Amino acid sequence: MKSSEGLLNVIDVEATCWDGEPPPGAVSEIIEIGLAVVDLGTGERVGRHSILVRPARSAVSAFCTELTGLTQAEVDTGLDFAEACRVLAAEHRAGVRPWASWGDYDRHQFTRQCRATGTAYPFGRRHTNAKAAFTEAHRLRKRPGMAQALRIAGLPLEGRHHRGEDDAWNIAALILGLAADSAWPYEPAS
């Protein structure tokens, strides 16, 4: 059994979205939490998860389905947001384990949605913006999207882009590349 020391949660969320303005009364809500677990000590991706989340104040648009592949029928089988946050905390040690995401969108989306729903924020304070770390390590002028970063790093895009589970897995590969080059900025505390 692996120790929890050196483990990092990599999070990527997909949320309801529209081609243009949302319908009246609708708000962008998380519909999938993709999670990859990285063992920084061994340099391996050791876990891959998808948590589908049932939106309460919006619906999955045709545009959103085209982008993510997720349908309303699929997300209707998901957990409500509060339960998804409890799963992150209980099963994935989200409040204890450091975490990373590609940019700050995911962190801000969780903050907004937790505040709007009165749900306890599931994560601890040790968050790393992997996009900023990658940009700095590669001395780039502009922060690249994940797919562009994979090309820069010479890594394949595995799975479907804009699917939380696959994007988290790909971001984890980028983080491991940074860690192998001693360019990952933060080592998790034991």
CATH code for the domain in which residue 13 is found: 3.30.420.10
pLDDT of residue 185: 87
| Cβ-Cβ contacts under 8 Å for 114 (sequence gap 6 or more) | 85, 120, 121, 122
**Residues 99, 38, 10, 172, CA torsion sign:** positive
Report the domain count for the chain: 1
Q: Within a domain: residue 142?
A: yes
Q: Which amino acid type is present at position 119?
A: T
Which pTM was predicted? 0.94
pLDDT of residue 187: 55
Cα 112 off chain centre by: 15
Q: How confident is the model at residue 186 (pLDDT cuts 50, 70, 90)?
A: low
Domain range enclosing 140:
8-180
Neighbours of 21 (CB within 10 A): 7
